[in-house]
């Protein structure tokens, strides 16, 4: 691997003989971070002691066997457009999200999802903080559920 020369001058960044404004440098760095995050999102999730990651078919089985309460963390508008039958809607972006999670029955198992997995993944530490013991995460979210052709309630 060859070393690349990097120089910082007032208002400019020089990388390997190419000149970039600071704004362009920030944009390049942001793009690189976003790309790394997208690649990480595509990697299969590993189960942890706190969270069991499931695909849509596995989630359907849990729901059908009434082993979980479905926790939909999308907005009320998204929920109204369609949701898993029997789901409880608690908006992750709502100001009272943590408080409402704290009011859940901690002895129950929950299947948490959003549209694609981003918000529900972000909600996992809050579920843990609020002492929810058994959590299943629907990888790919409601989009994965619909892609499998599973039933949607409106």
- Mark whether 9 is an active-site residue: no
Closest CA to 53 of 120, 106, 146: 120
The pair of three-digit structure tokens given for residue 59, joined into one six-digit string: 């989630």
Model-wide pTM > 0.85: no
Q: Domains for the chain: give ranges and CATH numbers.
A: 6-42 (no CATH), 51-147 (3.40.250.10)
Tokens of 87: 């789901």
Q: How does pLDDT run along the chain (154 residues), one tens digit per residue?
A: 445 555 556 666 556 666 666 655 555 555 545 544 544 444 445 555 579 999 999 999 999 999 999 999 999 999 999 999 999 999 999 999 999 999 999 999 999 999 999 999 999 999 999 999 999 999 999 999 999 999 999 9
Given the residues 71, 114, 115, 127, the one annotated as active site: 114
């Amino acid at each position: 691997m060859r070393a690349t020369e990097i120089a910082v001058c007032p208002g400019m960044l020089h990388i390997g003989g190419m000149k970039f404004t600071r704004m362009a440098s920030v944009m390049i760095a942001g793009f690189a971070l976003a790309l790394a995050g997208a690649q990480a999102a595509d990697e299969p999730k590993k189960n942890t002691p706190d969270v069991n990651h499931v695909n849509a078919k596995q989630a359907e089985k849990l729901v059908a066997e009434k082993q979980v309460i479905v926790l939909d963390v999308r907005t009320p508008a998204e929920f109204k457009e369609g949701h898993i039958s029997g789901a409880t809607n608690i908006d992750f972006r709502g100001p009272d999200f943590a408080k409402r999670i704290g009011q859940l029955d901690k002895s129950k198992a929950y299947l948490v999802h959003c549209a694609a997995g981003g918000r529900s993944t972000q909600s996992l530490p809050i579920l843990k903080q609020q002492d929810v013991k058994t959590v299943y995460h629907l990888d790919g979210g409601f989009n994965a559920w619909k892609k499998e052709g599973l039933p949607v309630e409106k």
